[in-house]
Amino acid sequence: MRAPEELRDAVEVYLGALPLAPELGRLEEALRYALESGGKRIRPVLCLAVAEAAGGSVEETLPAAAAVELVHTFSLVHDDLPALDDDAERRGRPSAHVAFGEGVALLAGDALLAEAFRLVLTYEDSRLARELVTATLGMIGGQHRDITGDDADLAELHRLKTGQLFSASVGLGLAAAGVPEENQSPWRAFGDELGLLFQIVDDILDEDGFAVRLGAEGARQLADEAAERARERLRAIAADTSVLRELIDGLAVRTG
């Protein structure tokens, strides 16, 4: 059972060596730039850890894990554009549109999304692709609610904007490991709590969302409850889920 840091290294190596469609030509540079910006790789690590805990192989799950990260990266590249969040920096480096221009960043985001689907379509079982596309649509719907200020139901907004891709990370890990659908629900319930935990901590760090609604202390309590429920869900699974427990602990105390 590999530790989270080892899984993250495996993701980095895989993404670094990932062949992109040759038809992209010189646009590839912008995709690589966005993909190499580091980040915590939480979603692909979650996908790999779930697959390994469920008896699957990390190597065979890497394309699915990378596909989730590509969807996440696509969303960051587009979110940073002046038309949306207008962020000039991302993880201490110029955003893609600052480095390459808005038009190229727009196309690079589009290409990242298409590459994600290309990757997940390398699996014979097309349920993986269907799960990723459904999650992507949910994420886009959440983003739309966010920019139009449709955030009365904050839990629903987060379930879409963040939760869907967390949920797909778990679902793709299970599918890559060959876990039958009738045995997936405890794993998926864990993933939902983990996504919620991630988002609440994000709000605490960014001082928005739940932190504004509930205050820092109220949000902290909500995060602790989500972490506890996530641990409970793991206890219901008859497998070695120690790495997944590490992921919960890491998310609960993260500071960036």
Contacts with its own copies by CB under 8 A lie at 21, 23-27, 74, 78, 81-84, 97, 101-107, 109-111, 113-115, 117-118, 121, 124, 126, 129-130, 133-134, 136-138, 140-145, 147-148, 150, 160, 164
Q: Which is nearer to its own copies, 124 or 182 (CB)?
A: 124
Task: Using the minimum distance from each CB to its own copies, give the nearer residue, 129 or 201.
Answer: 129
Kindly state the tokens that stand for 83.
Answer: 């038309």
In the bound complex, what is the minimum distance in angstroms from residue 191's beta carbon to its own copies?
Answer: 17
Structure tokens at 86: 């207008």
Nearest approach, Cβ of 94 to its own copies (angstroms)? Answer: 16
The alpha-carbon radius of gyration of the chain (Å, integer) is 18
Element of type H or E holding 89 = strand 89-90
48 and 173 Cβ atoms separated by less than 8 Å: yes
**Nearest distance, CB of residue 164 and its own copies, angstroms:** 8
Query: Which residue number, 72 or 145, has a Cβ lying nearer to its own copies?
Result: 145
Closest to its own copies by CB, 161 vs 233, is 161
Residue 25 CA from chain centroid, whole number: 27
Please say which residue, 99 or 237, places its beta carbon nearer to its own copies. Answer: 99
Cα–Cα distance, 99 to 118 (Å, whole number):
26
Tell me the C-alpha distance between 240 and 51, whole Å.
Answer: 11
Nearest distance, CB of residue 34 and its own copies, angstroms:
14
Q: Which residues make beta-bridge pairs with 94?
A: 89
